[in-house]
Amino acid sequence: MTLTPELAQWRKTQRNTLLAQRCAASATDHAHWSAAIEAQLRQAFALDGPWVVGFCWPYQAEFDARPFAAWLRARGVQTALPVVVTKGQPLEFRAWWPGVAMEPGVYDIPVPVGTDALVPDVLLVPPVGIGPAGDRLGYGGGFFDRTLAAIAPPPITIATAFEISRVPTTHPQSHDILMDLVVTEAGVQGLEDGRLQGLDWAQATARLQALAQARGLPRQQRARA
């Protein structure tokens, strides 16, 4: 589908509506949904050893992946945050750990200072909207699509979203990269035959392992602490 002016306006309107809805959620609901997502992640994706997991600093009432990232680090996993280095270019991921020096980046989102660049094996992606085919509506900058297209082999992508972020479609473009897995407070889904299908925790673990084997992941990289 071609990104017509009408579709671009639709995406902008949809993005603004979804963001307003997410930001208007009560603190109680947000905490409940976030705890459920983290429980799903811990049960289904309890990685350990030489993995690098990229995640995002929470922005505009997104799911906060920092506690899960800290939990993974305790299991020996490396974690990294995205950094906008140059507009229109792929993101760089820099090693993160609790207490690392940070500075304001684009949109004043904190980024690590002077840590090693890493390439994520798994990437937790916080969408604004998520469609039934694993299609994602982001903030409109195209950073994640450019980044995912530039990484070979591609990381396993796990969208972390609240159920209120569901949309019938995002009208994905040819350059849009579909998510491999989606985790919400309601459960885990995996992309199969072009549609998201529900997975139990064991099935989700097996799906991640199969994707990792097919892509030759993890990459066996380590950062200086």
Number of domains present in the structure of the chain? 1
What contacts 66, CB < 8 A, 6 or more positions away? 55, 57, 58, 98
What contacts 189, CB < 8 A, 6 or more positions away? 181, 182, 183, 196, 197, 198, 199
Q: What is the 3 state secondary structure string of 76-114?
A: CCEEEEEECCCCCCCCEEEEECCCCCEEECHHHCEEECC
- Reading the block at residue 61, the tokens are 């009432």
pLDDT value of position 59: 96
Q: What's the CA gap between 123 and 36, in Å, rounded?
A: 19
Residue 204 belongs to domain spanning: 5-215
Question: 208 in a domain, yes or no?
Answer: yes
Strand 117-118 to 110-112 pairing: unpaired
Question: 223 in a domain, yes or no?
Answer: no
pLDDT value of position 221: 77
Question: 112 in a domain, yes or no?
Answer: yes
- Profile the chain (225 residues) by mean pLDDT over runs of 10 residues: 82 96 98 98 97 97 98 97 90 96 94 96 97 94 89 97 97 89 98 96 98 95 70
Question: 225 in a domain, yes or no?
Answer: no
pLDDT value of position 164: 98
Residues in the chain: 225
Question: 224 in a domain, yes or no?
Answer: no
pLDDT value of position 142: 81
pLDDT value of position 206: 98
Q: What's the CA gap between 98 and 120, in Å, rounded?
A: 18
Preceding peptide of 153 cis, ω within 30°: yes
Q: What's the CA gap between 175 and 99, in Å, rounded?
A: 37
Question: 100 in a domain, yes or no?
Answer: yes
Nearest to 190 by CA among 212, 208, 164: 208
CB 195 within 8 A of CB 133: yes
Helix (H), strand (E) at residue 6? helix 5-24
Question: 220 in a domain, yes or no?
Answer: no
We report the CATH number of the domain holding residue 148 as: 3.40.50.10420
